[in-house]
A and B are shown apart, each in its own frame.
Chain A
Amino acid sequence: MSQSQSNILKIENIEKIFQIKVSSFKSKNLYALNKVTLEVERGKTIAVVGESGCGKTTLGKVISGLYQAENGTIKFHDQDIAHKKPLQRGFLQKDIQMIFQDPYSSLNPRKKVRDILEQPLKIHTKLDKAERMAAIEKTCLDVGIDLSYLSRYPHQFSGGQRQRIAIARAIILNPELVIADEPISALDVSIQAQVLNLMMDLQEKLNLTYLFITHDISVVKHLSDYVAVMYLGEIVEYGTKEEIFSNPQHPYTKMLFAAVPDIDNPMISEKVLETGEIPSPIDLPVGCYFAGRCPLKDSDCEKEHPLLVDKGDRYKVRCIKV
């Protein structure tokens, strides 16, 4: 029982299928999420990494209710929310909040900061006007927004400040889970550090759980507790940060890490040329999806699709060569 209590979110075999029109009469299934199973521990940060098109953003959207899954379950507070739209989720929706990548498009340009922050309170709480203002002021203090900014519009702020507003909007309802979809990749380097530090401070202060979606491996190393590596709609490797970074097993994880430019290790090896590109998620092969790019591949890999094998100690990997 203790296991399920420490898990805030339990995702099982989630599938999200998009219908892609290939001609006027024919459409094909695109498996954006292919039987994803994942547990999120309370108060921790789980990072979801992968190349674009691997389904990491779709996963965030399914959890937050912006998409509904076709199959599978997402257990949150003992209720399955996988197929429910935000309105059907009722009060559960307030406990899952999202921070988006681009703070230039995620804030309504016609609303003042005060209204942007008041909106979630109006929808989800019964606070009166004065109480709402008090809540807004408290949150502003937490994220470092000057109170005089409340009557300004989003366009009057820089990217970093806008992202602070977006973070304030996400935490104002005291959510349990915050899904951050590439929250710093649109920001300048010197601002990225400010926002990352803020997010980590807030986590400590408010006991937040983060699902951090990113392609930036060094950021993952910095702030996550667990790492899930996704490839073509499925998780290929999962484990604690220490495990994944000290001893990555899946050839895709290794390839991804090798491609990351690092100022302390500024060499590009010739190996990167052999890495190829992510294939189309329509018409996936029968065997391992990664086989086409994998250096370890042999005929076995093309016969059967490998399963995500639980190796114990919270470590899972999907590869028959490990």
Chain B
Amino acid sequence: MSEMLRVENLKTYFDTRKGLVKAVDDISFTIEKGEILGIVGESGAGKSITGFSLINLIDSPGEIVAGRVLFDDRDLAHLSEDELSNIRGGEISMIFQDPQMSLNPVITIGKQLIETVIYHNPETSKQDAYKKSVDMLELVGLPAPEKRMASFPHQLSGGMKQRIVIAMALINSPKLLIADEPTTALDVTIQAQILYLMKKLTKEYESSLVLITHDIAVVAQMCDKIAVMYAGRIVEYGSNQDVLYNSKHPYTKGLIQCLPKLNEEKDRLFQIPGVMPSLLDLPEGCYFSDRCPYADEECKIYPETTTIEGRQVSCHKVNQIS
């Protein structure tokens, strides 16, 4: 497989009145063609900011202060706004959590889809764009697509809206799709449909997908590779199998253990004590050390990233954890 995107030592900092927030702090990963990368973590771990940073959607006071986002030999972190807006929605598109917020409430679905096509392909005729939009709505499994073209967003259910958002994201056949919690606002049955669809389309078109979510079970279903984020850094990064079923970082292990499982009875759930520290008030050394059962003196220094059994881990105690 060939490489689609390479992120190198990306740092996105927010200079707030309360202090410097290192929302994304020195993260690196790659995505191949046709591959699905999952970024998991709790709220505030920096996973959404990572997604936004990929297409440089960072607003003041935030700024990408270092690192590179290499996509097709271009560094997206240092492109001009004009060049970026050609890429966004064209070669790279993004799906946001709340479909209600990503659609314009006063314009019909059809108009919004056609606009997306024509903006990136100005030579396309309106008829062709209309046809392409209807085909796309059909592809994402929306019933009666031609009728829906004339609908306004408020006339549709959450599941339908998210399908339209996905259709809009895919309509220009992007090489890379970034999906930020695409199914969090939806019911499980609709979630299963949407996830299935996204996986199928990614594999079919040999595009790539970055899936940002807090739901480990979703990641287990969808992703080839997984990056686990904690307090702005990637703590474990590797293949689906390695990270989920043979975790090496105590945080990843804890996260998986504390899920209630369908095929297993137990009286008490495993719990990770405490909460994720505020990014303004990070502990000395390893950020997880306050909550970690293995932590000791050594953990007063932030651990180097090491490669062990095929995945990258940032933990001093990696050899003690079975």
Interface on A for B, CB 8 Å cutoff? Answer: 51-52, 158, 160-161, 188-194, 196-197, 200, 215, 217-219, 221-223, 245, 255-256, 258-268, 270, 272-273, 275, 277-278
Contact = CB atoms under 8 A, between A and B. Distances in A.
A167 B192 CA distance: 32
Given A191-B42, A256-B189, 4 more contacts: A189-B214, A193-B272, A218-B262, A275-B192
B255 interface: yes
Contacts of A256: 188-189
Give chain B's interface residue range (CB within 8 Å of chain A): 35 or more
Given A215-B187, A260-B188, A196 B269 contact: yes
Given A262-B262, A265-B262, A190 B221 contact: no
Nearest to B157: A277
Nearest to B43: A188
A275 B193 contact: yes
Q: What 8 pairs across the A-B complex have the smallest Cβ distances?
A: A193-B258, A222-B260, A261-B217, A259-B192, A272-B192, A266-B220, A188-B42, A193-B269
Nearest to A269: B196
B199 interface: yes
Q: Which of A194, A222, A275 has the most CB of B within 10 A?
A: A222
Given A188-B214, A190-B258, A273-B193, A263 B275 contact: no
A273 B196 contact: yes
Nearest to A50: B187
Nearest to B199: A268
B18 interface: no
Contacts of A196: 260, 269
B190 interface: yes
Given A188-B42, A189-B214, A272 B259 contact: no
A267 B196 CA distance: 10
A71 B77 CA distance: 62
B188 A268 contact: no
A224 to B, nearest CB: 11
A273 B254 CA distance: 33
B244 interface: yes
27 contacts: A52-B187, A158-B275, A161-B275, A189-B214, A189-B255, A190-B255, A190-B258, A190-B272, A191-B42, A192-B258, A193-B260, A194-B272, A196-B260, A222-B260, A245-B262, A258-B192, A259-B188, A260-B188, A260-B262, A261-B192, A263-B244, A264-B261, A264-B262, A265-B262, A266-B217, A266-B221, A268-B221
